[in-house]
Amino acid sequence: MKSGLLLVVSGPAGVGKGTVVSLARERNSDIVFSVSMTSREPRPGEKDGENYFFVSREKFLEMVNENMLLEWVEYCGNFYGTPRLYIEEQLEQGNIVLLEIEVEGARNIKQQYPECVSVFITPPTVTELRKRITKRGTESPEIIEKRMQRAIKELEHMDNYDYIIKNESVEESVKQFLEIIEKERKANRNM
């Protein structure tokens, strides 16, 4: 890894990763968010280039074949991945680069960047997670069930992360997340 700090954040869908990350970015302007690419359709209110880069399945697979993605996975019938060039440029500039990705992608990033800092955000309970996903109102019951099955599998991998944050309170989770960043920045400067 170059002079920057690479942060990998994972956790089940609906756990509140996006909220925690968004608030942390508002409070620490040094964090650069890596926008992932996906082949899924945008949800209401999502913007191309801000929430995700939305592309067709064909375009996504073309980028995979041209090695333009640092990592990618298929999740619930859609592709998700991390554009390689942006990450490399930001790290070379010494920035704090944040990737919000799922467990398989996090494992792939950790293999390529062993120095990266990984954070897993977990729900207070699986029951609470189901409530949060259902409350969003963006997925069918079938998709909710797939996400719950996937969440249970993802929770089995949280011990592979450097840090675990139980998201009972968004404010407390953001505070813990920012403390992790500060601790790792100090450690990175002392190397």
Report the alpha-carbon distance of residue 32 to residue 90 in Å, rounded: 8
CA atoms within 13 A on the CB side of 44: 4
DSSP-derived secondary structure letter, 16: S
**pLDDT tens by residue, the chain, 191 residues:** 447 899 999 999 889 898 999 999 999 988 998 888 999 999 899 999 888 999 999 999 999 999 999 888 888 889 999 898 888 888 888 889 999 888 988 998 999 889 999 999 999 999 888 888 888 877 888 988 988 998 999 999 999 999 999 999 999 999 999 999 999 988 876 54
pLDDT for 191 equals: 45
Residue in this structure with the two tokens 């409070």, named with its chain if needed: 27
Q: pLDDT value at position 169?
A: 93
Angle formed by the axes of helices 17-27 and 170-189, nearest 10°: 60
Give the pairing of strands 37-38 and 53-54: parallel
Instruction: Report how many domains make up the chain.
Output: 1
Domain that holds residue 163: 5-189
Q: Are strands 96-100 and 31-33 parallel, antiparallel or unpaired?
A: parallel
Query: Which residues are within 8 A (CB) of 81 and not within 5 positions of it... i.e. 6 or more apart?
Result: 36, 37, 38, 60, 63, 64, 69, 70, 71, 72, 73, 105
Q: What is the CATH number of the domain that holds 176?
A: 3.40.50.300
